[in-house]
Amino acid sequence: MSEQIDQALSRKYDAGFVSDIESETFPIGLDEDVIQRISAMKGEPEWMLEWRLRAYRSWLTMEEPEWAHVHYPKIDYQAISYYSAPKSMKDKPKSLDEVDPELLRTYEKLGIPLHEQEMLAGVAVDAVFDSVSVVTTFRSKLEEAGVIFCPISEAVHKYPELVKKYLGTVVPRSDNYFAALNSAVFTDGSFVYIPKGVRCPMELSTYFRINEQNTGQFERTLIVADEGSYVSYLEGCTAPQRDENQLHAAVVELVAMDDAQIKYSTVQNWYPGDENGKGGIYNFVTKRGICHTNAKISWTQVETGSAVTWKYPSCILKGDNSVGEFYSVALTRGRQQADTGTKMIHLGKNTKSTIISKGISAGNSNNAYRGLVQMGPKADGARNFTECDSLLIGDRCGAHTFPYIESRNPSAIVEHEATTSKVSDDQLFLCKQRGLDAEKAVSMIVNGFCKEVFRELPMEFAVEAGKLLEISLEGSVG
């Protein structure tokens, strides 16, 4: 039976099509001129350009990190184009009717209807195509509640005070190599502001799509939940199937003020490359949130795509009684490599964090969990619970766990549990004896393994995530 499991994982990547859209794309290469041109394209104010240039200059002094358990050829940053936008976007459409129909079809193919009447009630979408935000739905309804949800490029113009106040406060410009690069060249992304005491009336959602060849996508998301507010935010991503590797280096910053709550969910399905490891997205992402007093941030991620993933959604628990959560399912197959996990930095008293990580490895893939739990000297009574489970499918894949625990407070409690298991021949035999085929059996076993995390996803996303796993496992057994 393990032979069957072994049979190379060769399912089709459903989102792998290329859209024929005329684009305006910068020539490859990166220097200060390019950054000035990006800034000029977006008509940015001087302070924004200055911010980018300072990020660029620190990036030049930095080295690409090599500590992650991933291997890939050196990236040539001069071979990437740093800006691409559908031509028709030049004069930004005011409504959906003015959007290039090909672009709308692209999103429809991806199962993301942008027409408001077709939308699932209660989800507002911001769609980012290559470097620009295409359309944001349900804006007027959100405005009524005082919620700001718009492309970050627009926020720079319309809400400069808010952007200036928070941008780079959670992930500083020179935080790390990829964050610095992003700060220099980010082209779009979403901006969210929830005013004091407001519970955002619907789920907010952004879909990212890389279409152009040889472009990188560098989006930047900033979510500010003011005192006592609540927001649930969903992020999804896909890319066409290409032989070249493409770079995606995003930054997400979350600010949860006193008593605020942010729930951030990601379903990441970037193109993972073919079974021999050709092509695929390099996904180097910095995601971090800061919790003030009594605030709570939950990260939930389902990661099935990308050739290489380097991603550690983290929480800085600065305020007393604040809560950080990280729920993750990371599935790797073929030649995919993932090094993902979280950081929980406990600074305030009685801060709590929970980490549930489920890694599933199949084929020749490598899946690593890397997590840091840090208890600061003032974090009296802080608590962490970590559960880190790995599931292996077949016998040529790897699962690795790198937990880092640093406690500088004797009253803090840190718990770490880890398990590694295999989809066993016995389990498969039981399922088949009950009339299920091997694929159904594996997907059922994997879904059961991930249940604790799926429970944390918003309803529509949980269904999507389950299906995505099923599709990702297609062909993983003979």
**Alpha-carbon torsion (63, 67, 73, 79), positive or negative:** negative
Q: Binder to another protein among 115, 169, 425, 467 (CB under 8 A)?
A: 425
Cβ density class 413-425: b for 16+ within 10 Å, e for less: ebeeeeeeeebee
Residue 408: Cβ within 10 Å count:
12
**159/167 Cα distance (integer angstroms):** 12
Interface map 372-411 toward another protein (x if CB under 8 A): ----------------------------------------
**202/116 Cα distance (integer angstroms):** 13
Q: CA-based angle 235:239:243, to the nearest 5?
A: 150
Q: Binder to another protein among 70, 85, 152, 445 (CB under 8 A)?
A: 445
By beta-carbon proximity to another protein, the closer residue of 106 and 361 is 361
Q: Is 431 in the site for another protein (CB under 8 A)?
A: yes
Q: Is 477 in the site for another protein (CB under 8 A)?
A: no
Q: Binder to another protein among 12, 47, 404, 429 (CB under 8 A)?
A: 429
By beta-carbon proximity to another protein, the closer residue of 2 and 36 is 2
Give me the least distance between CB of 216 and another protein, in Å please: 38
Q: Binder to another protein among 1, 8, 119, 372 (CB under 8 A)?
A: 1
Q: Is 449 in the site for another protein (CB under 8 A)?
A: yes
**Residue 73 dihedral angles phi and psi, to the nearest 5°:** -65, 155
Q: Binder to another protein among 22, 395, 417, 437 (CB under 8 A)?
A: 437
Q: Binder to another protein among 61, 117, 140, 433 (CB under 8 A)?
A: 433
**59/27 Cα distance (integer angstroms):** 20
Of the candidates 295, 334, 273, 300, the one whose C-alpha atom is nearest the C-alpha of residue 475 is 334
By beta-carbon proximity to another protein, the closer residue of 294 and 357 is 357
By beta-carbon proximity to another protein, the closer residue of 118 and 452 is 452
Give me the least distance between CB of 454 and another protein, in Å please: 10
Interface map 164-193 toward another protein (x if CB under 8 A): ------------------------------
Binding residues with another protein: total (CB under 8 A): 24
Q: Is 430 in the site for another protein (CB under 8 A)?
A: yes
Q: Binder to another protein among 396, 432, 460, 471 (CB under 8 A)?
A: 432
Q: Is 440 in the site for another protein (CB under 8 A)?
A: yes
Instruction: Decide if 221 contacts 89 (C-beta within 8 A).
Output: no
Instruction: Decide if 200 contacts 229 (C-beta within 8 A).
Output: yes
**13/273 Cα distance (integer angstroms):** 9
For residue 366 the two structure tokens come to 């490598």
Q: Is 463 in the site for another protein (CB under 8 A)?
A: no
Give me the least distance between CB of 265 and another protein, in Å please: 20
The residue type of 370 is R
Instruction: Count, in order, helices (H) and strands (E) of the chain.
Output: 11, 23
Q: Is 420 in the site for another protein (CB under 8 A)?
A: no
Q: Binder to another protein among 451, 459, 463, 467 (CB under 8 A)?
A: 451
Q: Please give the distance of CA 212 from its chain centroid, rounded to a whole number.
A: 20
Task: Single out the segment in contact with another protein by CB under 8 A; choices: 14-22, 295-303, 346-354, 438-446.
Answer: 438-446
DSSP state string for 320-362? TT-EEEEEEEEEE-TT-EEEEEEEEEE-STT-EEEEEEEEEE-
By beta-carbon proximity to another protein, the closer residue of 258 and 439 is 439
Cβ density class 233-270: b for 16+ within 10 Å, e for less: bbbbbbbbbbeebbbbbbbbbbbbbbbbbbbbbbbbbb
Contacts (CB under 8 A) with another protein, residues 58-87? none
Which residues sit opposite 37 in a β-bridge? none
By beta-carbon proximity to another protein, the closer residue of 31 and 452 is 452
Q: Please give the distance of CA 150 from its chain centroid, rounded to a whole number.
A: 18
Q: Is 224 in the site for another protein (CB under 8 A)?
A: no
Task: Single out the segment in contact with another protein by CB under 8 A; choices: 129-137, 185-193, 236-244, 425-433.
Answer: 425-433
What secondary structure letter does DSSP report for 228?
T
Q: Is 447 in the site for another protein (CB under 8 A)?
A: yes
Within 219-351, strands assigned E span: 220-225, 230-238, 245-248, 251-256, 261-268, 280-291, 296-303, 308-311, 314-317, 323-332, 337-346
Give me the least distance between CB of 445 and another protein, in Å please: 6
User: Which positions lie near another protein, rule CB under 8 A?
Assistant: 1, 424-427, 429-438, 440, 444-445, 447-452
